[in-house]
Amino acid sequence: MNSKTKLIIGALAAAALGTVVAGLFATDEGRKARKKLAKKTRKLRNKTLQQVGELKVGAARRYETVKQAANDIVDEGIAKVSGITGNARNEK
């Protein structure tokens, strides 16, 4: 997990904790406070799930890009080695 991902997860956790604490100290009546807290928690959950989904998509894209670049490098290396060995055989 890179530092950017850790920062995002930490920020989301802090936001969730802040929502819970704010709900516990709310001045509304108990029922209203619980409803508000539940609504905010659902919104935070949905936003978190969306951001996690976006992170997964971004990571998958980066993985495929790096994988393709690595395959290209390997293929290029194989082609160079094949050319060198082919030239050496022809010189005999």
Question: CA 36, CA 29: separation in Å to the nearest integer?
Answer: 11
How many structural domains compose the chain? Answer: 1
pLDDT of residue 64: 95
Structure tokens at 31: 């029922």
Q: How does pLDDT run across 23-75, given as a tens digit for each residue?
A: 666 666 777 877 888 898 899 889 888 998 999 999 999 999 999 999 999 99
pLDDT of residue 72: 95
User: To 5 degrees, how large is the angle CA 34–CA 38–CA 43?
Assistant: 150
Q: What pTM was computed for the model?
A: 0.50
**Domain that residue 71 falls in:** 3-91
